[in-house]
């Protein structure tokens, strides 16, 4: 599917990796030309709506659908009584139980807002109205609303997340200066503008699914496994995504329901979650709490860190929001101990939300570091630099690249940190207290194999084809830039095809790993295609370049020529015409040579081939330092962020304009996390009562100050083929503690539980 | 959403006539009605569209005051130069409300009649108990998440906050709601819940707001609307205050003062005790702070909304000091 129209660019840096090219698909988006999953106009469409539980725990005894079935336009009602004949699909690790039935509308109720029935009708309005006529009888069971509930208990230790070296307890006890604090973060949600949902259609045993996806291949695999059809029979199409932030990486129950309904009815079906359903149909960031103890010498050298954390999970799966993820690697620390528990509660299983683990972890350790700085009477910047980690004390490995020191010093310089007065409440403007704070962030470099196809067309255009997706990060643009650079052509001579599971395999757009992974494959394929073209141009008897005597060719300014102006120069289309070729097509992947078809399939549809940050010789991470200024009304307790300067080490930037936009987006989300976002749970029935965008607050433009972002990175060729490290998630990590620290500096009040709402300050 | 029939009224009389019918509801900007229809809270059988009626959208001003037609848009009133000059608090209350898009759709009449933001009111499938929605069914908010609930004017039956901003400013300046056949002061127009939380206003079936009139006064001219909330824009008030002030000729003794609180009570909350405490007094930070505290007389908290009792007097004080030229 071609979705990119040729376009003109004015930027001199167009067509090279590292150029500040504007978003390739930007025009389509702002003019409404980009078609999203719920907008595909299909004939004979039926509409499905989910019915969700209103109790937190128990069993569905019966579903009385008689009235709903009799309502106008209703085609079908699905309930736990319907055996859809589905099988459980593989998890992210590619593990799959044998022949285990899958019930997307289960009888067992594990949380309030769980899908237990669905209504399909001729119109969405009819389906919604009929859904309200469904009468469900439950047998209620006791529930645990949150991990603060006394019935929740201590939860279970996640052994794989326990870390330690040295003797942390002893070193802590011996340390002359000690601090201790408990830090907590509430349930937070993705609230992407585009809700979850899909349009689905069967042709025989072939299924097409239009669904926003951060991973077209992985989600296609789930559909094939649920329905017991070959992977090749599934086509999942996702060219545009209205925000995912981690929530759109897996196929979910509502997808199975819609696909089943469509098959049974023999009609295409559209299912869109309502906004409240987007709060319970998949999990947001789990609530966390963590106790941190730090021991240091009088002059601020860290001696020990002891960390004990916990996060909520569901009653049916363990999802740790790892509060100890950033704790061990931010500072030089010889004695360390960390443990993380999950506490089952009656809530949907939490999921990945921008910067999972690292984000709440940084809130803990970066708040604690400032508490230590104040206990020592030391500038928090100085304390951080003093304890700079020269290598990764957890893995013992050297950093691949780590420019956190530069981030701290250059960020401080740009912010004007040296003009700060240390005492809390020492900066004010009338009734407004002003405070400055620092928060560091980190995110690991993950690597995954990917595949890409390059087609050189007779008309001189070059296509790059991949099943990777673009949810706004800029995949379209950087792929075009990479290919343009290889062929020495303007970026608008490149066509990019993305977001379709039938296209070559790709890493997930998650864990900040897509750009680094897919560009490796694209660069490899483009180079191979260019080599193929060079071979033909030098050897084919029809080629005007054959007689130049050159042994290679140059590609620049849109022309192919022999080096040092020997002989003619041709455009790609002239060369293709001369060669009599309609196209040259090259497929390459970055798996080891000789990977079998089975291994390839596994690579694109599971996480088994993903490489963690310390699996090689080095420890590889992105880094950042945020400097925040807040203004707090001393009477009202209202906090406004008035300035942020953030410096990043993300290695080489493939397109600084788009990277800066991602960083800013992360920072803005961090402002929301620090000041506004909190799922409010009614303890009586486990319901999140602010499950809509009027009540679950995210920052508006008026809440977003001037944000200055600085890149201090250098290319890291250990981290990726083209030298970049992940940029998508690190931006949010460390923002909340920077703001909390600034609030402390402004007011003298240390808020250890997010969000910092006004009642905590008055 | 339930199917409904749609009637496009051709005259105010026709609209009133149709509105007499049980199950019928007037439609103005629709920003409250459609929202609540989608939540299953309002389920009209007939929707009577009044947006095309002529003569109801005007804004007129003279020395005696302003008359604002019920169909005037929030945005138009907020931006009206005459309103801004004679009633700054009214203009500010509107420009600090909702979002630009909503202000362009929503009308003044509809604005007064917006419904509470109580989460329990808005989710009938999950929380069937709500006296306001379904008299006699109970109140789900009591014992639940109450951060945004009222501390003043509550009853055992209902603790829902009146969320609007405009009505707070109107109540300060003795504005009057014109119902065509009769008029009611804004203060009397809104009811506290008592045992009948389903009755929110003095509006009777078959009545329609045609206009709002605001008498001019020196206090209205020297007024402000202060809205405090966690988010800088697009959020209802955690606490707000509309304050107008007129000094004696000496420029420091209070001749006339109006104080109304928003975001903390079940209706726009005129704090006459604060006003009385300050009339005839010389304004100072101390007198203002002491008087402002009186606004919380009778306040009751329900857990998470306790902060409002602390916050609201500070908002009142700041607003008074502001119009008094002391901050
Ligand atoms: C997301 C969001 C945020 C908001 N934030 C704020 C805020 O910060 N501050 C604030 O004050 N408001 C806020 N509002 C409320 C908004 O101001 C009201 O929804 C709006 O003013 C209602 O006006 P309308 O013309 O759209 O009314 P409609 O929805 O058309 O009508 C509302 C009700 O009034 C009745 N009605 C309308 N006109 C008349 C009339 N002339 N006579 C008799 N009955 C009539 C209707 O029958 C209906 O019951 C917000 C709303 C939303 C959706
Ligand atoms: S506070 Fe009022 S509106 Fe809210 S649930 Fe109780 S009765 Fe209903």
The CATH number of whichever domain residue A244 belongs to comes to 3.90.1170.50
Whether A158 is in a domain gets the answer no
Q: Which atom of ligand 1 is nearest to the CA of B113?
A: 34
Q: Is the CB of B146 under 6 A from ligand 2?
A: no
Map tokens 């005696």 to a residue. B64
Expressed in angstroms and rounded, the spacing between residue B136 Cα and the centre of ligand 2 is 11
Whether A594 is in a domain gets the answer yes
- Total residue count of chain B as it appears in this document: 327
Distance between CA atoms of residues A43 and A344, nearest Å: 44
Mean pLDDT value across residues B168-191: 97
Phi, psi values for residue A582, rounded to 5°: -85, -35
Residue A13: its pLDDT value, please? 39
CB B141 within 8 A of CB B160: yes
**Residues A381, A527: one domain?**
no
* pTM of full prediction above 0.80: yes
Give the count of Cβ contacts less than 8 A between chain A and B: 84
CA A81 to chain centre: 36
Tell me the fold of B5-49. 3.30.43
Residue A547: its pLDDT value, please? 86
In words, the CATH class of domain B218-323 is alpha beta
Pick B231's closest partner by Cβ from A276, A633, A703. A703
Q: Is the CB of B160 under 6 A from ligand 2?
A: yes
Expressed in angstroms and rounded, the spacing between residue A149 Cα and the centre of ligand 2 is 25
Residue A15: pLDDT band with limits 50, 70, 90:
low
Contact list, B306 vs chain A (CB under 8 Å): 759
Encode pLDDT of B10-65 as tens digits. Answer: 999 999 999 999 999 999 999 999 999 999 999 999 999 999 999 999 999 999 99
Distance between CA atoms of residues A265 and A271, nearest Å: 14
Domain endpoint, select from A605, A633, A651: A605
Phi, psi values for residue A475, rounded to 5°: -55, -45
Distance between CA atoms of residues A189 and A753, nearest Å: 17
Nearest-CA residue for atom 51 of ligand 1: B98
Q: Which of B123, B127, B129, B197 to mutate to test the pocket of ligand 2 (most atoms within 8 A of CB)?
A: B197
SS (H, E, C) A119-161: EEECCHHHHHHHHCCCEEEEEECCCCCCCCCHHHCCCEECHHH
Cis check: omega of the bond before A755, within 30 degrees of 0: yes
Q: Which atom of ligand 2 is nearest to the CA of B130?
A: 8
E runs forming strands in A481-574? 494-497, 554-556, 559-561, 569-571
**Residues A257, A294: one domain?**
no
Residue A664: pLDDT band with limits 50, 70, 90:
very high
Give the CA angle between residues B69, B72, B73 to the nearest 5°: 160
Residue A549: pLDDT band with limits 50, 70, 90:
confident
Domain endpoint, select from A553, A579, A605: A605
**Residues A316, A414: one domain?**
yes
Q: Is the CB of B109 under 6 A from ligand 1?
A: yes
Encode pLDDT of A629-643 as tens digits. Answer: 999 999 999 999 999
Percent of chain A having pLDDT more than 90? Answer: 96
Write out the two tokens for A635: 């009477």
**Residues A412, A390: one domain?**
yes
| CB-based contact A762 B145, cutoff 8 Å | no
Domain B5-49 shares a fold with domain B218-323 = no
**Residues A433, A499: one domain?**
no
Contact list, B231 vs chain A (CB under 8 Å): 676, 697, 699-700, 702-703
Strand partners, A185: A288
pLDDT of residue A580 exceeding 50: yes
Task: Give me chain B's average pLDDT, please.
Answer: 97
Residue A8: pLDDT band with limits 50, 70, 90:
very low
Whether A278 is in a domain gets the answer no
pLDDT of residue A23 exceeding 50: yes
Pick B126's closest partner by Cβ from A54, A128, A695. A54
Number of domains present in the structure of chain A: 3
Residue A564 per-residue DSSP state: G
Nearest CA in chain A to B233: A702
pLDDT of residue A132 exceeding 50: yes
Residues 6+ apart with CB under 8 A from A328: A163, A305, A336, A338, A393, A394
Mean pLDDT value across residues A148-156: 96
In this structure, are strands A336-344 and A302-313 parallel, antiparallel, or unpaired? parallel
Expressed in angstroms and rounded, the spacing between residue B209 Cα and the centre of ligand 1 is 13
Nearest-CA residue for atom 11 of ligand 1: B164
Write out the two tokens for B121: 């009111």
- From A623, A653, A622, select the one nearest A478 (Cα to Cα): A653
Phi, psi values for residue A701, rounded to 5°: -55, -40
Residue A714: its pLDDT value, please? 97
Distance between CA atoms of residues A279 and A623, nearest Å: 31
Domain endpoint, select from A556, A583, A605: A605
Distance between CA atoms of residues A25 and A7, nearest Å: 10
Q: Is the CB of B132 under 6 A from ligand 2?
A: yes
Measure Cα distances from A182 to A154, A361, A674 in Å. Answer: 15, 12, 16
Residues 6+ apart with CB under 8 A from B178: B67, B209, B210, B211, B212, B213
**Residues A114, A243: one domain?**
yes
Encode pLDDT of A371-380 as tens digits. Answer: 999 999 999 9
Task: Give me chain A's average pLDDT, please.
Answer: 96
Residue A429: its pLDDT value, please? 96
| CB-based contact A695 B311, cutoff 8 Å | no
| CB-based contact B144 A125, cutoff 8 Å | no
Residue A3: pLDDT band with limits 50, 70, 90:
very low
| CB-based contact A680 B145, cutoff 8 Å | yes
Q: Which of B129, B132, B145 to mutate to test the pocket of ligand 2 (most atoms within 8 A of CB)?
A: B132
Residues 6+ apart with CB under 8 A from A510: A214, A215, A246, A249, A352
Nearest-CA residue for atom 45 of ligand 1: B110
Distance between CA atoms of residues A307 and A621, nearest Å: 21
**Residues A626, A724: one domain?**
yes
3-class secondary structure, B314: helix
Mean pLDDT value across residues A47-74: 98
Q: Is the dihedral of CA A187, A279, A313, A238 positive or negative?
A: negative
Cα distance between the two ends of chain A: 57
Encode pLDDT of A210-269 as tens digits. Answer: 999 999 999 999 999 999 999 999 999 999 999 999 999 999 999 999 999 999 999 999
Encode pLDDT of B87-112 as tens digits. Answer: 999 999 999 999 999 999 999 999 99
Distance between CA atoms of residues A548 and A550, nearest Å: 5
Q: Which of B40, B232, B301 to mutate to test the interface with A (most CBs of A within 10 A)?
A: B232
**Residues A498, A594: one domain?**
yes
Encode pLDDT of A253-296 as tens digits. Answer: 999 999 999 999 999 999 999 999 999 999 999 999 999 999 99
Residue B55 per-residue DSSP state: T
Distance between CA atoms of residues A32 and B247, nearest Å: 56
Mean pLDDT value across residues A607-625: 96
Contact list, A111 vs chain B (CB under 8 Å): none
Mean pLDDT value across residues A402-420: 98
Contact list, A757 vs chain B (CB under 8 Å): 230
Residue A363: pLDDT band with limits 50, 70, 90:
very high
| CB-based contact A128 B1, cutoff 8 Å | yes
| CB-based contact B230 A635, cutoff 8 Å | no
- From B307, B290, B296, B170, select the one nearest B238 (Cα to Cα): B307
Nearest CA in chain A to B314: A635
CB B147 within 8 A of CB B100: no
Nearest CA in chain B to A633: B228
A188 CB neighbour count, 10 Å cutoff: 28
pLDDT of residue A5 exceeding 60: no
Active-site residue identified among A463, A629, A729, A759:
A729
CB A716 within 8 A of CB A444: no
| CB-based contact B233 A703, cutoff 8 Å | yes
**Residues A30, A42: one domain?**
no
Expressed in angstroms and rounded, the spacing between residue B125 Cα and the centre of ligand 2 is 14
Stretch (H or E) spanning A291: strand A288-296
Write out the two tokens for A593: 């040579």
CB A699 within 8 A of CB A672: yes
**Residues A537, A621: one domain?**
no
User: Does residue A243 come out as left (phi exceeding 0), alpha (psi in the -120 to 50 range) or beta?
Assistant: left
Nearest-CA residue for atom 17 of ligand 1: B111
pLDDT of residue A1 exceeding 80: no
**Residues A137, A204: one domain?**
yes
| CB-based contact B311 A699, cutoff 8 Å | no
Whether A150 is in a domain gets the answer no
Nearest CA in chain B to A701: B233
**Residues A113, A232: one domain?**
yes
Residue B196: its pLDDT value, please? 98
| Shortest Cα distance, chain A CAs vs residue B80, angstroms | 23
Encode pLDDT of A477-500 as tens digits. Answer: 999 999 999 999 999 999 999 999
Nearest-CA residue for atom 20 of ligand 1: B111
Q: Which atom of ligand 1 is nearest to the CA of B112?
A: 21
Q: Domain range for residue A591?
A: 2-34+448-605
Q: Which atom of ligand 2 is nearest to the CA of B133?
A: 8
Q: Is the CB of B106 under 6 A from ligand 1?
A: yes
In what order do the strands lie in the sheet containing B239-247?
B223-228, B239-247, B254-262, B269-270
Nearest CA in chain B to A758: B230
| CB-based contact B3 A431, cutoff 8 Å | no
- From A114, A446, A108, select the one nearest A273 (Cα to Cα): A114
Residue B131: its pLDDT value, please? 98
Residue A548: its pLDDT value, please? 86
Encode pLDDT of A67-112 as tens digits. Answer: 999 999 999 999 999 999 999 999 989 999 999 999 999 999 999 9
| Shortest Cα distance, chain B CAs vs residue A474, angstroms | 29
| Shortest Cα distance, chain A CAs vs residue B48, angstroms | 20
CA A352 to chain centre: 7
| CB-based contact B230 A638, cutoff 8 Å | yes
Nearest-CA residue for atom 2 of ligand 2: B158
User: Does residue B180 come out as left (phi exceeding 0), alpha (psi in the -120 to 50 range) or beta?
Assistant: left
Phi, psi values for residue B7, rounded to 5°: -125, 125
pLDDT of residue A12 exceeding 50: no
Residue A84: its pLDDT value, please? 97
Domain positions in chain B are 5-49, 218-323
Pick B235's closest partner by Cβ from A125, A697, A759. A697
| CB-based contact B229 A638, cutoff 8 Å | yes
> Active-site residue A729, yes or no?
yes
The CATH number of whichever domain residue A417 belongs to comes to 3.30.365.10
């Amino acid at each position: 599917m071609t979705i990119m129209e040729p376009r003109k660019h004015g930027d001199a840096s167009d067509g090279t990796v590292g150029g500040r090219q504007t978003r390739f698909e930007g025009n389509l988006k702002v003019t409404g030309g980009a078609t999203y999953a719920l907008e595909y106009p299909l004939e004979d469409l039926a509409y499905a709506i989910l019915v969700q539980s209103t109790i937190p725990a128990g069993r569905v005894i019966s579903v009385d659908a008689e009235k709903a079935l009799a309502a106008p336009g209703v085609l079908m009602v699905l309930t736990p009584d319907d055996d859809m004949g589905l099988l459980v699909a593989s998890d992210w690790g590619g593990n799959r139980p044998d022949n285990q039935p899958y019930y997307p509308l289960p009888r067992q109720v594990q949380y309030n807002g769980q899908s237990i029935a669905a209504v399909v009708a001729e119109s969405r309005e009819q389906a919604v109205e009929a859904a309200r006529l469904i009468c469900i009888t439950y047998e209620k069971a006791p529930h645990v609303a949150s991990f603060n509930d006394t019935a929740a208990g201590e939860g279970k230790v996640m052994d794989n997340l326990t870390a330690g070296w040295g003797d942390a307890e002893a070193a802590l006890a011996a340390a002359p200066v000690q601090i201790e604090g408990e830090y907590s973060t509430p349930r937070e949600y993705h609230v992407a503008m585009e809700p979850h949902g899909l349009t689905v259609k069967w042709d025989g045993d072939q299924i097409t699914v239009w669904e926003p996806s951060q991973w077209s291949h992985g989600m296609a695999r789930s559909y094939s496994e649920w329905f017991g059809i070959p992977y090749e029979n599934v086509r999942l199409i996702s060219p545009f995504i209205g925000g995912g932030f981690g929530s759109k990486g897996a196929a979910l129950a509502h997808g199975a329901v819609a696909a089943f309904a469509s098959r049974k009815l023999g009609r295409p079906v559209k299912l869109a979650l309502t906004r409240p359903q987007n709060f319970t149909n998949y999990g947001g960031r789990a609530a966390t709490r963590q106790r941190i103890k730090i021991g240091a010498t009088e002059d601020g050298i860290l001696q020990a860190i002891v960390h004990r954390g916990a996060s909520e999970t569901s009653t049916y799966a363990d999802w740790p929001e790892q509060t100890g993820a950033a704790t061990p690697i931010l500072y030089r620390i010889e004695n360390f101990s960390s443990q993380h528990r999950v506490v089952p509660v009656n809530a949907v299983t939490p999921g990945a939300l921008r910067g999972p683990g690292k984000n709440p972890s940084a809130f803990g350790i970066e708040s604690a570091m400032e508490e230590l700085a104040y206990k020592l009477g030391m500038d928090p910047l100085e304390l951080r630099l003093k304890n700079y980690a020269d290598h990764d004390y957890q893995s013992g490995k050297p950093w691949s690249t780590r420019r956190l020191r530069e981030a701290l010093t250059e960020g401080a310089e740009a912010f004007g940190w040296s003009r700060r007065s240390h005492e809390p409440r020492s900066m004010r403007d009338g009734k407004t207290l002003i405070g400055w704070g620092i928060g560091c962030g980190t995110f690991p470099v993950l690597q995954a194999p990917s595949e890409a196809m390059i087609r050189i067309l007779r008309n001189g255009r070059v296509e790059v084809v991949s099943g990777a997706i673009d949810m706004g990060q800029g995949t379209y643009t950087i792929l075009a830039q990479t290919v343009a650079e290889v062929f020495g052509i303007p970026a608008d001579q490149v066509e990019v095809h993305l977001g379709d599971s039938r296209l070559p395999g790709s890493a997930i757009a998650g864990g900040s790993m897509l750009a680094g992974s897919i560009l490796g494959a694209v660069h490899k394929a483009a180079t191979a295609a260019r080599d193929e073209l060079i071979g033909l141009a030098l050897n084919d008897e029809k080629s005007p370049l054959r007689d130049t005597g050159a042994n290679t060719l140059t590609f620049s300014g849109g022309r192919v020529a022999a080096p040092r102006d020997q002989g003619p120069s041709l455009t790609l289309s002239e060369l293709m015409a001369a060669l009599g070729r309609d196209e040259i097509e090259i497929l390459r992947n970055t798996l080891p040579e000789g990977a079998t078809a089975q291994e390839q399939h596994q690579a694109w549809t599971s996480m088994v081939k993903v490489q963690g940050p310390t699996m090689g010789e080095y420890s590889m991470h992105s880094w950042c330092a945020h400097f925040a200024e807040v203004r707090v009304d001393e009477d009202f307790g209202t906090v406004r962020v008035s300035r942020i300067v953030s410096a990043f080490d993300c290695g080489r930037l493939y397109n600084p304009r788009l990277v800066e936009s991602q960083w800013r987006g992360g920072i803005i989300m961090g402002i929301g996390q620090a000041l506004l976002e909190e799922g409010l749970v009614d303890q009586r029935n486990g319901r999140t009562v602010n499950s809509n965008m009027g009540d679950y607050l995210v920052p508006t433009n008026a809440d977003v100050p001037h944000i200055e972002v600085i890149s201090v990175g250098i290319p890291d060729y250990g981290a990726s083929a083209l030298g970049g490290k992940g940029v998508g998630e690190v931006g949010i990590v460390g923002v909340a503690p920077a703001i909390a620290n600034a609030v402390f500096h402004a007011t003298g009040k240390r808020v250890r539980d997010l969000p910092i709402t006004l009642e905590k300050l008055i | 959403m339930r199917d409904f029939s749609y009637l496009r009224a051709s005259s105010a009389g026709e609209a009133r006539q149709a509105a007499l019918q049980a199950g019928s509801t007037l439609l103005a900007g629709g920003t409250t009605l459609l929202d609540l229809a989608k939540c299953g809270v309002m389920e009209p059988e007939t929707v009577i569209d009044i947006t095309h009626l002529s003569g109801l959208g005007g804004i007129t001003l003279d020395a005696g005051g302003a008359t604002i037609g019920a169909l005037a848009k929030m945005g138009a009133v907020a931006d009206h130069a005459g309103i801004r000059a004679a009633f700054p608090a009214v203009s500010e209350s509107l420009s600090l409300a909702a979002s630009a898009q909503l202000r362009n759709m929503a009308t003044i009449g509809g604005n007064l009649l917006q419904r509470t933001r109580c989460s329990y009111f808005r989710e009938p499938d999950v929380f069937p108990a709500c006296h306001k929605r379904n008299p006699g069914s109970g109140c789900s908010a009591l014992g639940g998440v109450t951060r945004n609930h009222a501390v003043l004017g509550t009853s055992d039956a209902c603790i829902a906050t009146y969320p609007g901003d405009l009505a707070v400013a109107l109540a300060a300046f003795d504005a009057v709601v014109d119902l065509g056949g009769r008029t009611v002061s804004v203060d009397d127009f809104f009811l506290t819940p008592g045992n009948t939380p389903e009755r929110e206003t003095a509006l009777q079936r078959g009545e329609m707001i045609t206009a709002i009139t605001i008498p001019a006064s020196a206090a209205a001219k020297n007024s402000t609307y202060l809205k405090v909330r966690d988010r800088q824009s697009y959020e209802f008030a955690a606490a707000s205050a509309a304050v107008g002030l007129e000094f004696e000729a000496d420029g420091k003794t209070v001749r006339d003062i109006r104080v109304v609180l928003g975001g903390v009570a079940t209706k726009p909350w005129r704090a006459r005790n604060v006003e009385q405490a300050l009339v005839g007094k010389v304004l100072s930070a101390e007198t203002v702070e002491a008087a402002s505290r009186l606004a919380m007389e009778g306040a009751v908290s329900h857990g998470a909304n306790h902060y409002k009792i602390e916050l609201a007097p500070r908002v009142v004080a700041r607003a008074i000091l502001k119009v008094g030229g002391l901050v």
